[in-house]
Amino acid sequence: MQRLDTAADGFLACRIGGHLLAVPLAHVVRLLDYGRGSAPPLAQPWFGGIAQDGTSLFPSLALAARSSGARQGKGLLLSAGDLQFALEVDEVEGLLRLDAVAAEGSPDSSPAGAWCCPREWLAPAPTADGVILDVGAVARDLRADDGRLAGRFGA
């Protein structure tokens, strides 16, 4: 079984719908308090809309069910190479260190199994209510084959 070394860089512990999401610190650019536009019709259920932070626009991802309409919220600005995107969160708890955990397996048995994002975006965490966000998997899905931002936004 492939192992994910989670002890090296640490994580930012976030809550979404009361469940723990561990986000690798190496991919966190900053915390956001931002406005989000409505998701376009026929968008994937995890596409929360377009995030606006000052004059910058980013795709905003909602791992749990999203509410309709424009709204204000908390989130993280994440980067994977030259790709940046926002992740909607309910709260940020602080820094977290985890022991090595399996990178394979399904988080379907965790409370996050009800989230609407693709399962390959989540890796099991050594906590009963948590999962780890695989930022690389998210970035692969958001990019078209030629490297442009496109990917799987549409249904």
What is the chain's pLDDT, residue by residue, as a tens digit (155 residues)? 234 444 456 999 999 888 889 999 999 999 998 877 777 777 888 888 888 888 888 899 988 876 666 667 789 999 999 899 999 999 999 998 876 544 444 444 565 667 888 888 998 887 667 889 999 999 998 886 555 555 455 54
Domain boundaries, the chain: 3-142
User: Can you tell me which residue has the tokens 């930022």?
Assistant: 135
Q: How many CB atoms are closer than 10 A to CB 150?
A: 12
Q: How many CB atoms are closer than 10 A to CB 77?
A: 19
Whole-model pTM?
Answer: 0.79
Q: Token pair of 104, please?
A: 């394979």
Q: Token pair of 127, please?
A: 């906590």
Q: How many CB atoms are closer than 10 A to CB 54?
A: 6
In 3D space, the residue among 26, 17, 24, 19 whose CA is nearest the CA of residue 98 turns out to be 24
